[in-house]
Amino acid sequence: MEEYKLVSRRKSARMREGYTTTRAKPPISTDNVLKLARAFSLPKPQIFAYNHGYRNHSFGIISNGKQYNLILLKNEPNALERIQNADAVAALAARSGLPTRTLAHPKTLKITTAHNFRLVRLYHWLPGDTIPWEAYTQKHLKVLGQTLANLHTATTTPIAGLPVALSELSTQNQAMQAYFARPAVVKALATKLRLQTRQMHGQIAIFLTSPQITRLPTQPLHLDFVRGNILWASAADSEASTPPQITGIIDFEKTAMGSPLIDLARTYAFLLVDCPKPETKITKYFLQSGYIKYGGSQLPLMPKIFYNLTNYFLIFDFYKFLSHNPYESLELNYHFCRTRDILLTRNILEEL
């Protein structure tokens, strides 16, 4: 792995104008980005876009008329293993014609600044943009379900070294159980939010280790097939009368081996909270029309397991809201309120 010592953002942060960018400042200078692009053997590279996500910083690079994606990966434990797993599953899906982000160069670079280090990879550019949930029509939901079914069809080949999805869910559940057992949390839930849980964590632990789910066939999963990781063709690139087109499936970094029901429940739980449509419509368009009918999925839905998995992800999202935000501010958070209300409807939370 080649290593580069770069000037940190504090010393050289200003980016030249002339390309689209998010509000966040890039962690390295334009000159250093171009230096990295040339290290991947790209002649006369130019930057045309910049985006910042939770785990990475992404630069659009053009060279010899071709577009690339130069990505600076977040410094975290097992970062290289995580991204290699992601790239392996994305490549598997791409071989079936799905628009996933694939490597443009086998090299991995390591850059060191005054404060930390990052790994750098070069990918082929994917066109399109994410769109807000409120822009999702029934056609978007159908295409989303169909594409997830196609992804599951394309990734049935096992990949050695992937984490086990149920093991990761069990570890998360242990953290949740410890959190909700804390007296201070029980008191804060009751006094600040007028809520209490229904002791669901022991039931979740039993469910996640029961034969009804542990014996299900497994395969590589995406596990983050949600709005921020789906790119759509712009209106200028497609006719309004035709179905919307997904042009990119990105961020396979949570990939693991498990039943497609887990993947399906993860996306479904997000849709229940984020998509401003009733659950009956989401079930009809995303699940029944998109995933089963148009996607041709033969996956047995097993309603009880699917329902319990959806509950798990809703509880996990509720826990993440609580553990990352002051309780006093949560009533102002639309997504928290939606999650809370759904959990109340499903009798997982109780109002005091």
Q: Could you tell me which of 250, 235, 238 has the C-alpha nearest to residue 99?
A: 250
Among 18, 20, 16, 55, smallest CA distance to 33 is for 16
Q: How far apart are CA 170 and CA 153, in angstroms?
A: 26
Residue 9 has a CB neighbour count (10 Å cut-off) of 17
Give the pLDDT band (50/70/90) at residue 209. Answer: very high
3-state class of 107 per DSSP? coil
Please report the beta strands in the chain, taking only residues with DSSP state E, as ranges in sequence order.
2-5, 46-52, 56-63, 66-73, 109-112, 117-124, 195-197, 219-221, 230-232, 246-249, 256-258, 349-351
Q: Tell the burial category of 290 from Cβ atoms under 10 Å away from its Cβ (0-12, 13-18, 19+).
A: buried
> For 291-317, how does the pLDDT look when each residue is reduced to its tens digit (9 = 90+)?
999 999 999 989 999 999 999 999 999
CA distances to 3, 122, 182 from 42, rounded to whole Å, are: 18, 10, 54
What pLDDT digit, counting tens, does each position of 234-292 carry? Answer: 865 555 558 899 999 999 999 999 999 999 999 999 999 999 899 999 999 999 999 99
Q: Is the pLDDT of residue 5 over 90?
A: no
For the stretch 42-71, pLDDT in tens is: 999 999 999 887 778 999 999 999 999 999
pLDDT of amino acid 16 = 42
Q: What is the pLDDT of residues 110-139, one digit of tens each?
A: 888 666 788 999 999 999 999 998 889 999
Lowest mean pLDDT among 50-54, 162-166, 230-234: 50-54
Average pLDDT over residues 206-230: 95
- Of 13, 44, 249, 15, residue with least CA distance to 130: 249
- What's the fold here for domain 2-124? Phosphorylase Kinase; domain 1 (3.30.200)
**What is the rounded average pLDDT of the residues 316-322?**
96
Give the model's pLDDT for residue 223: 97
- Residue 242 pLDDT: 82
Query: Could you tell me if 57 and 26 are in contact, meaning their C-beta atoms sit under 8 angstroms apart?
Result: yes
**Which of 80-84, 202-206, 253-257 is modeled with the greatest confidence?**
253-257
- DSSP annotation string for 35-63: HHHHHTT-SS-EEEEEEE-SSEEEEEEEE
Side-chain half-sphere CA neighbours of 126 within 13 A: 26
User: Which residues, 6+ apart, have CB-to-CB distance to 23 below 8 Å?
Assistant: none
4 strand-pairing partners = 111
**Is the per-residue pLDDT at 14 higher than 50?**
no
Which DSSP string corresponds to 173-242? Answer: HHHHHHHHHSHHHHHHHHHHS-EEE-S-HHHHHHHHTSHHHHTS--EEE-S--SGGGEEE--GGGS-TTS
Q: What is the pLDDT of residue 238?
A: 54
pLDDT of residue 239: 55
Q: Residue 76 pLDDT > 90, yes or no?
A: no
Predicted local distance difference test score (pLDDT) of residue 117: 80
Q: Is 255 in contact with 86 (CB distance < 8 Å)? A: yes
Q: What is the pLDDT of residue 52?
A: 84
Q: The domain at 133-351 falls in which architecture?
A: Alpha-Beta Complex (3.90)
Say whether pLDDT at 11 is over 50: no
How, if at all, do strands 109-112 and 2-5 pair? parallel
Tokens of 140: 């978007």
How do the domains of the chain map onto residue ranges?
A: 2-124, 133-351
